[in-house]
Structure 1
Amino acid sequence: MISLQHVSKTFNVGKKTVEALKDVSLTVQKGEIVGVIGYSGAGKSTLIRCVNLLEKPTTGKVLINDVDITSLNKKELQKVRQKIGMIFQGYNLLKTATVYENITIPLKLEGVPKQDIKKRADKYLNIVGLSDKHHMYPNQLSGGQKQRVAIARALAHEPEILLSDEATSALDPNTTESILDLLLQVNKELGITIFLITHELDVIKRICDRVAVMQNGEIVEEGKVLDIFSNPKHLRTKQFVHGESGIKVPEHFAEELPKRGKIVTLTFIGDSSKDPFLAILAKEFDVLPSIIAGGIDQLKDQSVGKLLVHIDGETAEVNKSIQFLEEKNILVEEVNQ
């Protein structure tokens, strides 16, 4: 569906050349929800704008349905763009137009038959839950309602791909949750492929199938959300995952812990979190496990539990208990004290 192949993008800022993207390759399959996460300046916004050539790559190719759109002329590109919807953090609504007009005006400019325009506007306003807001203006709506209008406007073009550029970052947590539910509905019921960028790990966990982590214009780690979240490899990914989950040893607590034994992070995936493994450790081995911190995160299709545990005991017994946990498919990572 989407294939970015060795994409690089440079900008000239005064006398300096800024490399926003460096040899980025990424594929999004039809029907997937794929997210790119990174801190400000990582290159996320430039990357997503390359998908519909709002930013043309300096080098590399962008393929949509196996067609290299970087080689198309203006008319051909415009036709491809009609199948790519986009929603933004700032909504980009016409302030002097009603909700209905914000959806229908772009359709008129696109040349959609008049009889189809009303049908589409009514259909997609109903899907986003704003059927009763036809004649209201953007300044009469909440932030969440404005974003729903923006989503309806994008869907009214009946795209195959929906791009989301930090679409929830200006919204409160409850409104964000409702917008993410809407995007899941759009993906499932309409079969639209969604490619999004965000700096919010909760967005990735909540709706994405796969994730790519960006740093300094490069993708430093990529994979299924479950794999990345449960066992991050790159330092930047670990900063996102461990920083958001709050699984760390408080300084004052670490000072009070006995010096023998080990502090480990245990990651439980799915049903493995239901078994009383720590009780089994205390019974089967000469160790005393103590929970320091922990919690359960719900991903799109799976749950992941994380516990920070101090396993007190002699080194040989502690190592046996850790081996036992690993044999039960529990990920064990030793924490440096």
Structure 2
Amino acid sequence: MIKLEHVSKTFKVGKNNIEALKDVSVEINKGEIFGVIGYSGAGKSTLIRCVNLLERPTAGKVFVDDVDILSLDKKGLQKLRRKIGMIFQGYNLLATANVYENVAIPLKLEGVPKNEIKARTEKYLEIVGLSDRSQAFPSQLSGGQKQRVAIARALAHEPEVLLSDEATSALDPNTTDSILELLLKVNKELGITIFLITHELNVIQRICDRVAVMEKGQIVETGSVVDIFARPKEAMTKQFVRGESRFSIPPKLLKDLLASGKLVNLTFLGESAKDPALATLAKRFDVLPSIIAGGIDQLKDQSIGNLLVHLKGEPEQIEAAVRFLKDERIIVEEVNG
């Protein structure tokens, strides 16, 4: 559906060259929700804007539906952009136009017939839940309602792809949840491929199928959301995942626990979450397991359980217990400090 091959983007700032993207390759499949996460300055916004050529890459190729969009002329690019809707953090609504007009005016400028404009505007305002606010002005709307208008405006062009540039970062948690539910609905019911960028881990958790992690203009890791959360490989990925979903231990307690046994983080996926592994471990080995902390991360289609466990006993018994846990398809990571 979308493929970026060896894309680089350099900006000239005074006498300096700033490399926003460095040899980035990524592929988004038709019908999926693909997320890119990274800290500010990682290059996320530049990357997503290369998909519809709001930013033209310095090097590399960009394909949409197997079409090399960098080879398109002005007319071809305009036609392509009708397939690609985009929503932004700042909504970009016309302050002097009401909700209905904000959705309808871009269609009018595109030359869509009048009766089709009415049908589409009403249809997509209903989908985003704002039919009863069609005559309200942006100043009369909440942040979440403004973003829903922006989503309706993007959908009214009936795109195949929806790009989301930090669309929830200015919203409170409850409103963010409602917008994410709306994006899931758009993806499932309309079959629209969604490519989003964010610095919010919960956005990736809630709705994405796959994710790429960006750092300093490069993609450092890509995979399914489950794999990235359960088995992060790169330092940046671990910093994101474990910075928000692992457990903080007071230094003195950590020192005491490490001195009296082994501290392990256990990750449970699928069937492994249903088995009483710790109870079996205590019976089978001369080891005393103590749960220090625990939690569950809810992903789009699956839950991941995490337990921080202290194992007390003789070293050989602890090692045997760890092997048993791994045999039970539990991901075991030793905590050293």
Report the TM-score, using the length of structure 2 for normalisation. Answer: 0.99
CA–CA distance in structure 2, aligned partners of residues 138 and 73 of structure 1: 36
Tell me, yes or no, if the aligned pair for 1:87 and 1:167 is still in contact at 8 Å.
yes
Counterpart for residue 278 of structure 1: 278
SS at match of 1:150: helix
CA–CA distance in structure 1, aligned partners of residues 215 and 194 of structure 2: 22
Tell me, yes or no, if the aligned pair for 1:260 and 1:314 is still in contact at 8 Å.
no
After superposition, the C-alpha distances for 1:274-327 in whole angstroms (9 at most, x for unaligned) are: 222111111110111111112011100111001111111111111111100101
Using the TM superposition, give the Cα deviation of residue 247 of structure 1 relative to its aligned residue in structure 2, in angstroms: 2.1
Unpaired runs of 5+ in structure 2?
none
Counterpart for residue 219 of structure 2: 219
After superposition, the C-alpha distances for 1:42-86 in whole angstroms (9 at most, x for unaligned) are: 000000000000000000001000000011111100100001000
Counterpart for residue 80 of structure 1: 80
Tell me, yes or no, if the aligned pair for 1:3 and 1:28 is still in contact at 8 Å.
yes
CA–CA distance in structure 2, aligned partners of residues 60 and 67 of structure 1: 14
Counterpart for residue 291 of structure 1: 291
SS at match of 1:11: strand
CA–CA distance in structure 2, aligned partners of residues 186 and 228 of structure 1: 25
CA–CA distance in structure 2, aligned partners of residues 285 and 44 of structure 1: 49
Identity of aligned residues (%): 72
Confirm whether residue 115 of structure 1 aligns to residue 115 of structure 2: yes
User: 2:219 corresponds to which letter in structure 1?
Assistant: I
SS at match of 1:18: strand
SS at match of 2:305: strand
Counterpart for residue 167 of structure 2: 167
Counterpart for residue 244 of structure 1: 244
Using the TM superposition, give the Cα deviation of residue 132 of structure 1 relative to its aligned residue in structure 2, in angstroms: 0.3
Shifted more, 304-313 versus 34-43: the winner is: 304-313
Counterpart for residue 5 of structure 1: 5
CA–CA distance in structure 2, aligned partners of residues 248 and 182 of structure 1: 33
Alignment of 1:1-337 (within 5 A): 1-257=1-257, 259-337=259-337
User: 2:276 corresponds to which letter in structure 1?
Assistant: P
Shifted more, 279-288 versus 208-217: the winner is: 279-288
Tell me, yes or no, if the aligned pair for 2:3 and 2:27 is still in contact at 8 Å.
yes
After superposition, the C-alpha distances for 1:228-255 in whole angstroms (9 at most, x for unaligned) are: 1101000000001101113243313113
CA–CA distance in structure 1, aligned partners of residues 240 and 297 of structure 2: 14
Give the CA RMSD over aligned residues: 0.9
Q: Structure 1 runs of 4+ off > 6 angstroms? A: none
Unpaired runs of 5+ in structure 1?
none
CA–CA distance in structure 1, aligned partners of residues 294 and 210 of structure 2: 24
| Count, aligned residues | 337
Tell me, yes or no, if the aligned pair for 1:104 and 1:118 is still in contact at 8 Å.
yes
Tell me, yes or no, if the aligned pair for 1:249 and 1:292 is still in contact at 8 Å.
no
CA–CA distance in structure 1, aligned partners of residues 286 and 232 of structure 2: 31
SS at match of 2:236: helix
User: 1:110 corresponds to which letter in structure 2?
Assistant: E
CA–CA distance in structure 2, aligned partners of residues 135 and 243 of structure 1: 44
Using the TM superposition, give the Cα deviation of residue 261 of structure 1 relative to its aligned residue in structure 2, in angstroms: 2.2
User: 1:113 corresponds to which letter in structure 2?
Assistant: P
Tell me, yes or no, if the aligned pair for 2:257 and 2:263 is still in contact at 8 Å.
no
CA–CA distance in structure 2, aligned partners of residues 147 and 215 of structure 1: 28
Relative to structure 1, is the Cα distance of residues 258 and 48 closer, same or farther in structure 2, using a 3 angstrom cutoff?
closer
Report the TM-score, using the length of structure 1 for normalisation. Answer: 0.99
Relative to structure 1, is the Cα distance of residues 80 and 290 closer, same or farther in structure 2, using a 3 angstrom cutoff?
same
Shifted more, 283-292 versus 20-29: the winner is: 283-292
